[in-house]
Amino acid sequence: MFIIILAKGIQVTLYPYSMKDYFKVDEWKIIEEGFDQHYNKVAESVLSLGNGRMGQRANFEEAYSGDTLQGNYIAGVYYPDKTRVGWWKNGYPEYFAKVLNAANWIGIDVWIGNEQLDLAKCEVLSFRRELNMKEGYLKRNFRAKTASGKEVEVEAIRFCSMADDETGVIKYTITPVNFEGDVTLTPYIDGDIVNKDSNYDEKFWDEVSKKINTDNGFVQLRTKKTGFEVATAMKFAVLQNNTSVKVESAPIQKEKYIAAEIKLQARQGQSITLIKYAANLSSQNYKANELAAKAIAMVERISNKGFDAMLAEQAAAWAVKWKYNDIVIEGDVAAQQGIRFNIFQLNQTYTGEDDRLNIGPKGFTGEKYGGSTYWDTEAYCVPFYLATAEPKVARNLLLYRYKQLGKAIDNAKLLGFKNGAALYPMVTIDGTECHNEWEINFEEIHRNGAIAHAIFNYTRYTGDETYLADYGLEVLIAISRFWAQRITWSGERQQYVMLGVTGPNEYENNVNNNWYTSTIATWCLKYTLEVIGKVKEANAAKYNQLIGKVAFNEETECAKFADIIAKMYFPYDDKLQIFLQQDGYLDKEQILVKDLPVTERPLVQKWSWDRILRSVFIKQADVLQGLYFFEDNYDIETIRRNFEFYEPRTVHESSLSPCVHAILAAKLGDMDKAYEFYLRTSRLDIDDYNNDTDDGCHITSMAGTWMAVVEGFGGMRVRDGILSFNPLLPPKWNAFSFQIGFRGALLNVRVSREGVSIKNTSAQAITVKVYNASHIINAGDEALIKINNQL
């Protein structure tokens, strides 16, 4: 039995036992052993597939009439769904851009005589579904009995190809166990699909054309309003008892739908296999009038390779990825499974090959958040891609924002800002603000700071300061112009103040002087002044060209920035010696999370919004987010006091929260808390901690899991252009190791009870610091640092 409750308009399902008992623990696989329909949507999310260009939830190939969320997605293809609000305010966006549920290409209807194979109606005798993260495929095995008593065994293997990133393939095998007779397989493409999150229940696709042939076919669709076109093609082959056979197929066509019905005579104990090849080609990359022909050519090409060759290519592609970003945890299989799951999902969501694309909070695993870009990318994902991929990957994430600078300026203008000030959107696909809640759209302006911090992070890590002159400074000036206008001079305080904002803790709205927002705003101004100096000195001609382009008055605008920096107000409590989250925070009733009844959590699902806003409870790291970003500005005791005050008040109802707490806890030497927060962030979706994985995984926070290991337990930082480590080993681990790419060098760092080993697997020497001592590691060499008292 399960319960459905409604909270703030959200449907929530509570299950009769913990999700922590559901998926089996394994180092390289996510395993669902046995089938529970109540957990199906969670499993569909967790076992999702993708390749950076397209992706899908782990829906069944055959029909399923139970609770499911169908999901197939094409990166960059979206629809501007008209905003739905109860009370329109000036400055609201006209639409919410959504990555669309695209044509369902995995479908294979199965009929056993006159009975349709449907696990919601059959007796499921055995069931196993596993995501092989090492080699990048999804495998499902089950045995089912129909109402008439016929039993079949099915094995389905599928993947989205990394080698051919516009394609996918399925190998679907059915074996009669106790009967002989007719079996009908009908592979299809269905474009007549909907988005569950459609604001007005409309369908977003129109048909352009379709065709079904003997063994292949396509459906070409066009999005309403935006005019994206996508051709989805399929080709299929049939084997009986592992031998290829020629079959006759009956074509079927409906609106936005094609299929081929294949009737076969099945023999007991002998397998029937359908191999279905598919391609999704978008008008982003091809001329619309060539899509269908190219999609058919694509499936013909991959079918000539064959399933086994494609599977081998898939394993090889994933082997390369794991070589550069695997994390090995020895002695703790649950922790190992968690980190690999997070890294796997990140790699199949974004590859960095296309600077028009970004990382939605749900990636290819669901519709929530519209598949759009948030500040999560800059704050959490950029560090991961900096260290685990070629520099161009993180650079492309920055260029995505640079190319949308004009729309960020338009967005600020819409809210009344002038002189080229830019406010980057909270939610976007094409640069236009899409968030329709005033407390987020108008007030959660700290997002601008994350954009600036990513520029700082990129140049600090890569040493590529040419980016500043080419792109970065133009963005920084526009952001700083926004801060200079958004900040207010208080005659009463004789200081600058920040009024009417929402910090990272979204359980507070319209507050004055949120410490984090004020801190990152003044940091932006300081950093902009610093970069002005650097660019001016390094390339005066380019600097002069830029200030002419943006009409920057260096004397007056720099003076304004400096004045704000010198006179900014930051809320602080002298008695507790902590930074106050915002003015009046201590007026709240100071209840700790440990005193909350378990039955009242998550708060967002159990409390009214009014009660949440009046409470002391913190959704995610707020002050602590600032201490994480700018830790070098504060001594360890300042960080400790603030951590010990705010951590007990944080409910972690944002997926972005536990990783920051894990990093700070490790820095403070609190390994129990650091491990607790690491395990929570790494297994957030596998164990469905927040009871919200059914609508998709939390992809962007998964980069925070990587940060918790590498920056938390590994203590990795970049200071003065030098990579440094201050490792700590969680008591439950025997050892852990990770890969780091840094300015052309590739390092394997292993931390054990004996000490730290760093192996340079690249062709160039590198200087690193371990516990503040410098070590030169030549190409191919390994440094062993034995400092037992540190570990």
Q: Could you list the active site residues?
A: 506
Q: What angle do CA 386, 389, 393 make, to 5 degrees?
A: 75
SS3 54: strand
C-alpha dihedral sign at 719, 396, 451, 704: negative
Q: What angle do CA 51, 156, 14 make, to 5 degrees?
A: 80
Per-residue buried b or exposed e for 690-707, using 16+ beta carbons within 10 Å of the residue's own CB? bbbbbbbbbbbbbbbbbb
Contact partners, residue 25, CB within 8 Å, separation at least 6: 333, 334, 337
Rounded Cα distance between 154 and 144, Å, is: 8
Rounded Cα distance between 170 and 191, Å, is: 18
Total Cβ atoms within 10 A of residue 721: 10
What is the full DSSP assignment across 564-627? HHHHB---EETTTTEE-SSTTGGGS----GGGS-GGG-SHHHHS-HHHHHHS--BSS-SHHHHH
Cα distances from 48 to residues 29, 37, 196, 332, 366, in angstroms, run 13, 17, 17, 24, 9
Which helix (H) or strand (E) is 646 found in, with range?
Answer: helix 636-646
Whether the bond into 602 is cis, omega within 30 of 0: yes
Per-residue buried b or exposed e for 86-103, using 16+ beta carbons within 10 Å of the residue's own CB? eeeeeebbebbbbbbbbb
Instruction: List, edge to edge, every strand of the sheet that includes 181-190.
Output: 115-116, 108-112, 181-190, 257-266, 249-254
C-alpha dihedral sign at 480, 485, 487, 493: positive
Cα distances from 618 to residues 649, 652, 700, 741, in angstroms, run 6, 7, 20, 35
Q: Compute the residue count for the chain.
A: 791
Rounded Cα distance between 520 and 158, Å, is: 45
Cα distances from 606 to residues 5, 6, 7, 610, 639, in angstroms, run 9, 9, 7, 12, 32
Nearest 5°: phi and psi at 529? -60, -40
Q: Roughly what angle, to the nearest 10 degrees, separates helices 405-414 and 391-402?
A: 40
Extract the tokens encoding 328: 């090995």
Total Cβ atoms within 10 A of residue 286: 18
